[in-house]
């Protein structure tokens, strides 16, 4: 998808505007040329093989929008001798369909499992593209309740972002194969170790997938690289989970967001430093008697130049952390 190249690098904001204009022009030109319908799929859906049998589509580092069809989360494809597992399906049915077509080009093996790493729309809104084809949806034991609790809100919130037509195609699909603790899935000469994490960290339904053959970890949003981590569960819980996560016998990680795989467990270092900085700053401001509104703009400012989308998410992380640690 052309937007990937245009939008996903560490571009200063003023360049972003020019790039946005160019991107809009390309979209309009493509529409006029009849290459797109509304809701059409991305023209190219890039996939990389990062280890033998492990493929990744790196989503853009961006907020969801009509322009990018919410193609902002990373997606994994693991191919065994018998079957295929998909790890997350992207933020719209258009992305899910592009993914499904791309899988068909890699292998003739059937997709047996669609694994959702957590409840967020950019990871599950593409699920409908795989529904009704004998696919088993897999998730953390808390995922069905999370989808039920938050799904309707996500549909309403994303209607404004993606448009009525895109939202009309989304189906909220709860997993039927639930992971309490760990589950192994056999794809044929390749097993996946699925781990459900506790307590709440990025969310309260975080699930990781380790390909035991290649030692490749698909972490979902427990790991962010380059893209600022986003706290929607518990900062305290996330910091508790990280050492346990680091103990997984992986060699590389595919993060939930960030356009590269990272070495394991070193890829956790930046995220851990950021989360600890948020915690230390928030504790300091609380101890000094600062109010939330005074503290939030000052939390983790030392991290500002190290992350993409910092201004978009850091205030919200600081707010969540303040609320969590205020009554510590």
Applying CB under 5 A, the residues found at the interface with Zn ion are 120, 221
> Which C-beta is closer to Zn ion: that of 71 or that of 221?
221
Is residue 244 exposed (0-12), middle (13-18) or buried (19+ Cβ within 10 Å)?
exposed
Pair type for strands 84-87 and 111-115? parallel
> Which C-beta is closer to Zn ion: that of 79 or that of 99?
99
> Which C-beta is closer to Zn ion: that of 69 or that of 222?
222
Angle between helices 269-287 and 235-246 in degrees, nearest 10: 150
Query: How far is the C-alpha of 15 from the C-alpha of 47, rounded, in Å?
Result: 26
Residues 6 or more apart whose CB falls under 8 angstroms from that of 150 comprise: 119
Question: Minimum distance from CB of 119 to Zn ion (Å)?
Answer: 8
> Which C-beta is closer to Zn ion: that of 41 or that of 117?
117
Question: Minimum distance from CB of 292 to Zn ion (Å)?
Answer: 24
> Which C-beta is closer to Zn ion: that of 59 or that of 265?
59
Residues 6 or more apart whose CB falls under 8 angstroms from that of 143 comprise: 116, 118, 119, 174, 175, 178, 205, 207
Phi, psi (rounded to 5 degrees) for 106 = -80, -40
Query: How far is the C-alpha of 104 from the C-alpha of 111, rounded, in Å?
Result: 9
Contact indicator for 140, 220 with CB cutoff of 8 Å: no
Instruction: Enter the tokens of residue 145.
Output: 């309740």
Q: Which of 86, 80, 98 is nearest to 1 (CA)?
A: 98
> Which C-beta is closer to Zn ion: that of 120 or that of 252?
120
Question: Minimum distance from CB of 160 to Zn ion (Å)?
Answer: 19
Question: Minimum distance from CB of 212 to Zn ion (Å)?
Answer: 25
> Which C-beta is closer to Zn ion: that of 130 or that of 224?
224
Helices assigned H by DSSP within the chain: 2-7, 13-32, 93-106, 121-124, 143-162, 164-169, 235-246, 269-287, 292-295, 310-325
């Amino acid at each position: 998808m052309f937007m990937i190249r245009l939008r996903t690098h560490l571009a200063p904001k003023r360049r972003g505007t020019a790039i946005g204009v160019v991107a809009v022009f390309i979209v309009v030109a493509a529409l006029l040329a009849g290459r797109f319908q509304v809701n059409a799929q991305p023209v190219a859906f890039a996939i990389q093989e990062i280890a033998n049998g492990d493929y990744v589509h790196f989503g853009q580092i961006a907020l969801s929008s009509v322009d990018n069809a919410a193609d902002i989360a990373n997606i994994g494809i693991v191919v065994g001798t018998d079957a295929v597992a998909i790890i997350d399906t992207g933020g719209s049915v258009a992305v899910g369909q592009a993914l499904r077509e791309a899988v068909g080009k890699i292998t003739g093996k059937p997709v047996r499992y669609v694994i959702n790493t957590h409840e967020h729309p950019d990871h599950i809104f593409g699920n409908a593209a795989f529904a009704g084809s004998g696919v088993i949806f897999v998730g953390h034991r808390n995922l069905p309740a999370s989808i039920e609790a938050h799904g309707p809100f996500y549909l309403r919130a994303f209607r404004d972002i993606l448009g009525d037509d895109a939202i009309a195609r989304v189906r909220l699909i709860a997993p039927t194969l639930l992971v309490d603790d760990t589950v192994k899935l056999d794809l044929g000469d390749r097993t996946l170790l699925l781990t459900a994490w506790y307590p709440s960290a990025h969310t309260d339904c975080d699930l990781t997938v380790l390909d035991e053959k290649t030692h490749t970890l698909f972490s979902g949003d427990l790991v962010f690289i380059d893209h600022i981590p986003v706290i929607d569960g518990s900062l305290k819980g996330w910091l508790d989970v990280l050492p346990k996560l680091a103990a997984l016998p992986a060699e590389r990680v595919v993060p939930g967001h960030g356009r590269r795989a990272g070495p394991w467990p070193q890829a956790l270092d930046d995220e851990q430093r950021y989360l600890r900085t948020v915690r230390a700053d928030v504790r300091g401001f609380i101890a000094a008697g600062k109010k939330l509104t005074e503290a939030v703009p000052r939390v983790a400012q030392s991290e500002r130049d190290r992350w993409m989308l910092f201004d978009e998410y850091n205030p919200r992380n600081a707010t969540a952390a303040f609320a969590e640690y205020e009554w510590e």
